[in-house]
Structure 1
């Protein structure tokens, strides 16, 4: 995609178990609507011919088979939870073609990844088939440049765990948020597209409920808002969408939007 436009592909929009949940007889898990089938949460962001992914969970390979790219220019990690990181081994085909893959994450997240995927981060005695990464530590106080675009990390609280979201140009991606401090809200001012989590109807200790997400979207005031990190308890996609305010949408797997 060789243009100034940015394309966002929702690789997955589900919560940690995905939808359908294994063995569940919940009506949403039994739905025939493809928009009710959600892989673990991740997005592909493309501009100026480069491809970046925010998070790579356990469905990463499956997601990129549906949305193929021939090059991966970097992964931005929000936090260390398994549904956001467990697919990192699937960078191997890109590593074999390109060499070390750039990853951007908080030092705490890098430490967790080193512990869980030590073979990827090994400096010596590397297993011949293992991928490798080039590590770029980031935090909420330091913006950085990717492919000519300024990236501003935005800290949200997932219960007590700090999680990084990202503003890239006029696109903001936040996930696993329950609270956003006023100094971080300032970073969202004037964004055109906001993506934020909306887990379910009932309140939750570490995620926005639907009502909380709607209120947050109103406060931010983006031109368009998309909800992600959705559980089966939110309800059927089409029924929930019919209740949302104008310019607020439920995202769904493989949805593509442009800025």
Structure 2
């Protein structure tokens, strides 16, 4: 299994438009972050987690020629706004399978009504194969996928455990029984917005505490804002098995 970090930034991305913050002015490519998303590559399958506004650029950056499924964590714009750009895949492959909580599907149908229409559908619009998920295991091909139920302030958000890999973003609180589902993962990806506390995201201290509870072999921090600081400086402060993820990072996990 290979994981590609397509984007590791927060909702505004880095650099933030018009910002003169030093991180936004950095010339280090690791300080430039598209909106958060990962591609899980397994056998010949490409499974996308979240499809944000930078989706088209991300697909072109990595020459992704097919897309087998999209898993949605929640309905916020930085995780969903790229749905229309699945059109090239749809034209070649047909309906693209999507997996999401019922609430998220309702939101997508409101925002992208033309994609979900079954009558008088515009011929240039893409279509999706809808799969409603709950907090129970489901399968994609031969993979078992375990949703991880978390809270983003007052909004429910799903993380996903896929074999020995787990991906959680926009987490602020998580119940003990959900943490137990993560025990034994080799690689954990978890959000860490900044060093200061935040009302709806883990900060760096929260994320490191959570990593200690799960105890993976390796952990990667994502959904990072410019307020976290310069990539190289933050990385130098982290424990040996914890890494500040960056756009276009690729990692492999033995299964």
Which residue, out of 6, 9, 12, partners 1:17? 12
* 1:50–1:147 contact (8 Å) kept in structure 2: no
Aligned twin of 1:209: 203
Measured after TM superposition, the shift of residue 147 of structure 1 is 2.3
For 1:92-120, what per-residue CA distance to the aligned partner results, in whole angstroms no more than 9, with x for missing partners? 00000000000000000000000000000
Tell me the matched-pair count: 253
Which residue, out of 134, 141, 147, partners 2:141? 147
For 1:8-61, what per-residue CA distance to the aligned partner results, in whole angstroms no more than 9, with x for missing partners? 000000000000000000000000000000000000001111001000100000
TM-score, normalising length: structure 2: 0.99
Pair 1:49-2:44 in alignment: yes
Aligned twin of 2:83: 88
* 1:171–1:191 contact (8 Å) kept in structure 2: yes
Pair 1:238-2:232 in alignment: yes
* 1:173–1:194 contact (8 Å) kept in structure 2: yes
State the Cα RMSD in Å.
0.5
What 5-or-longer segments of structure 2 have no aligned partner?
A: none
Which residue, out of 226, 229, 249, partners 2:243? 249
What 5-or-longer segments of structure 1 have no aligned partner?
A: 1-5
For 1:67-96, what per-residue CA distance to the aligned partner results, in whole angstroms no more than 9, with x for missing partners? 112110000000000000000011000000
After superposing on structure 2, the runs of 4+ consecutive aligned residues of structure 1 that deviate more than 2 Å are: none
SS at 1:109 equivalent: helix
TM-score, normalising length: structure 1: 0.97
Which residue, out of 186, 199, 207, partners 2:180? 186
Pair 1:228-2:222 in alignment: yes
SS at 1:242 equivalent: helix
Distance 1:14 1:207 in 2: 13
Distance 1:55 1:238 in 2: 26
